[in-house]
Amino acid sequence: MIERVKISVVMSVYKNDNDSFFKEAIESVLQQTYLPSEIILVVDGEVNIGIDSLLLDYEKNKLFNIIRLPKNGGLANALNVGIQSSKYSLIARMDSDDICFSDRFEKQVEHLVKYNLDIVGGQIIEFGKDINDVVSARKVPLEHLEMIDFMKVRSPFSHPTILFQKNVFEKLNGYDIKTFPEDYDFFVRAYLNGFRFGNIDHDVLWFRLGEDRSKAIKRRWGVQYAKNEIKLYKKFLHMDFYNYVDFLKVIFLKIPLRVLPFPIYKYVYFNILRKNS
C-alpha cells in the first residue's frame, strides 16, 4: 500500500512554448493514477495568446496555483519561485511540453517511500512528432552508489522526471540561478549534503524532441555550452566533488564533444549517448 503523501507539481511556461504541447503536458498530469494535490504553474514572463487562454481556464480549477512573473528570469529562477510557493512535502518536476506515463507518480512515490529516498527519477523515451515517433531513450542507473559514480561524468537523473522531498530544496537554498546546467549542480550539491538518490526501472516520461531533432539538441552543443560546462566542472572541483583526475577526465572527454562539427555531434548524440529505439 502506498503511503498517501501529497504532491506539488511544479512547472514553468514561457513565451516560446507551444500551447498544444502545454495542454498535453497538463492533461498527462491530470490523468495520473496518483493525483497531485497541487499544480503550480510559473508563468515566466509574457506568453502567447494560446497559452494565456489555457491559463485562464486553469485558474478556475482550485488544483492550480498560477504565479505570473513580470519578466523572463530563466528556468532555475522559475523553479525556485514555484517550489518556494508549494504547500506539500513532495515536489514533482514536469516540463511544459513533455508527457507523463499515467502511473509515473504512483510508481515514484512507492519507490521513494519503500527505499527511504530523497530524490527519485526514472527512464525517459525521446520522441519527435508524437509518441508514435520514438527517436531514442535515456537510460539512467538505478541505485544510489552507481548513480554517484555516473554523476562524475553525467547527470544521474533526467531532470523532468524527478520527484523529491521539499527539504532537499530548502537545505540547498534551491537551484543556483548563476549555474548552468542548474539541475546537474543541484544533484551534486544534494549528494554532498547527504541526500539519497534512486531511479525506477520504468519509463515515466515521454520527452519531446520535436520534429526538428537538430534544433532540439543544438541547445547542448557549441562553444558557449562548453564554457558553461567548464565553469560547472570547476565548481565541482572547488566543492571537492571532483578530484583533479575527475576534472581532467571530463575536460578532455566531454568538452571536445561540444565543439565537434554539428553533424558529427548529432551522430554521437543519437547513436552513442542515447540508446536507439
pLDDT in tens, 264-273: 988 888 887 7
Residue 136 pLDDT exceeds 50:
yes
Q: Are 19 and 51 in contact (CB under 8 A)?
A: yes
Q: Are 37 and 68 in contact (CB under 8 A)?
A: no
Task: State pLDDT tens for residues 212-265.
Answer: 878 878 888 899 999 999 999 999 999 999 999 999 999 999 999 999 998 998
Provide the mean pLDDT of the chain: 94
Residue 276 pLDDT exceeds 60:
no
Task: State pLDDT tens for residues 68-81.
Answer: 999 999 999 999 99
Q: Are 163 and 91 in contact (CB under 8 A)?
A: yes
My answer on whether omega of the bond before 261 falls inside 30° of 0, hence cis, is no
State mean pLDDT over 86-109: 97
Q: Is 218 left (phi over 0), alpha (psi -120 to 50) or beta?
A: alpha
**Residue 122 DSSP SS3:** strand
What local confidence, expressed as pLDDT, does residue 267 receive?
87
Q: Are 126 and 203 in contact (CB under 8 A)?
A: no
pLDDT band at 277 (very low <50, low <70, confident <90, very high): very low
Contacts of 49 (CB under 8 A, 6+ apart): none
- Measured CA to CA, the distance from residue 238 to residue 24 in angstroms comes to 42
Select from 15, 33, 13, 32 the least CA-distant residue to 23.
13
What local confidence, expressed as pLDDT, does residue 91 receive?
98
Task: State pLDDT tens for residues 137-148.
Answer: 999 999 999 999
What local confidence, expressed as pLDDT, does residue 245 receive?
97
What local confidence, expressed as pLDDT, does residue 3 receive?
54
Contacts of 250 (CB under 8 A, 6+ apart): 152, 153, 229, 233, 242
Select from 102, 100, 97, 68 the least CA-distant residue to 85.
68
Q: Are 182 and 75 in contact (CB under 8 A)?
A: yes
What local confidence, expressed as pLDDT, does residue 68 receive?
97
Cell 531511479, residue located:
199
User: In angstroms, how far apart are the furthest CA atoms of the chain?
Assistant: 55
Cell 537551484, residue located:
175
What local confidence, expressed as pLDDT, does residue 275 receive?
55
Q: Which residue has the higher pLDDT, 92 or 4?
A: 92
Residue 156 pLDDT exceeds 70:
yes
What local confidence, expressed as pLDDT, does residue 93 receive?
98
